[in-house]
Homo-oligomer: A and B are copies of this chain.
Amino acid sequence: MRLDDTAPRGTAVLARLHRLAPLSTAERDLVSRSLTLTRRVAARRDVVAERSINGEPRVLISGWAALSRIMVDGRRQILDLVLPGEHVAMRPRRGLSSLTTVSAITDVEFGPVAEPAEDDGALAEAYAVGNALHEHYLYRQIARLGRLNAYERTIDWFLEIHERLELSGLTNAHRFAFPVTQEILADVLGMTGVHVNRTLQALRKDGLLEVREGTVTFPNVRELRSLVAFEPAAAVLGLPVLLPEDVQVARAG
């Protein structure tokens, strides 16, 4: 539950997988060991260009990245963010091109995805749930862009990010580190930078959301959730409630 970078490497990855499905000690070790071979990319650089041949699926160990599509006239839409602990390019597609551009928002570190030893183990289960979550968040993004106005869209999106960071153990109650500019936020939310700015101001005035110094705070989560009828992913997926704060995760070696 820390906001900074002081956690041992791979903590977010392990925390997330372990919450998706409780891993055995052997599985945690397997994952830990796989994370020694990493690849770093500096902020603002592309990790995978759209159309390049798809490499191995990867997991984001630290930093924030974005999946986007860019149109010929320069307009850009960010399809989804990739948060620490989450996977990029969920499904390997041998021989097929990458469907999106992956770019680094901050400095990022990627690792390979550990191959599960058994098909029916907790690790395989965690990956399956992770895939379902990814799909769920894509659907949310569509519904958000299609049917919510700027104010609601912003609320809904921040609640989702909070939920996802919580999965990786990167929140502190209703506060979390947020290294995203308003311009990037505009590309996520399908609006202009100027309008993002005004919307954030309105939310702050209404006592719902503070974005200051790279940190987001929700002064009143309950009201925030009720404004957009936010449903936790666990409820939508029909999973046994999986987000208690007390779930402890083994430290990475």
Contact = CB atoms under 8 A, between A and B. Distances in A.
Interface string A138-167: 111111011100000000000000000000
Contact of A96 (B132, B142, B147): B132
A33 interface: no
Given A71-B229, A77-B147, A147-B76, A99 B236 contact: yes
A69 interface: yes
Interface residues of A, number: 41
B237 A146 contact: no
Interface string A219-253: 00000000001000000111100000000000000
Interface in A112-152: 128-129, 131-132, 135-136, 138-143, 145-147
A238 B53 contact: yes
Contact of A97 (B96, B138, B190, B236): B236
A136 B99 contact: yes
B238 A190 contact: no
B99 A139 contact: yes
A53 B142 CA distance: 22
A51 interface: yes
A34 interface: no
Contacts of A141: 142
Interface string A71-100: 111011101000000000001010111011
A190 B145 CA distance: 8
Given A71-B229, A135-B91, A97 B237 contact: yes
Contacts of A73: 229
A129 B237 contact: no
**Which of A50, A139, A145, A146 has most B Cβ within 10 Å?**
A146
Interface in A44-65: 50-51, 53
14 contacts: A50-B236, A69-B142, A69-B143, A76-B147, A77-B147, A79-B142, A79-B143, A91-B131, A96-B132, A96-B237, A97-B236, A100-B139, A138-B138, A138-B139
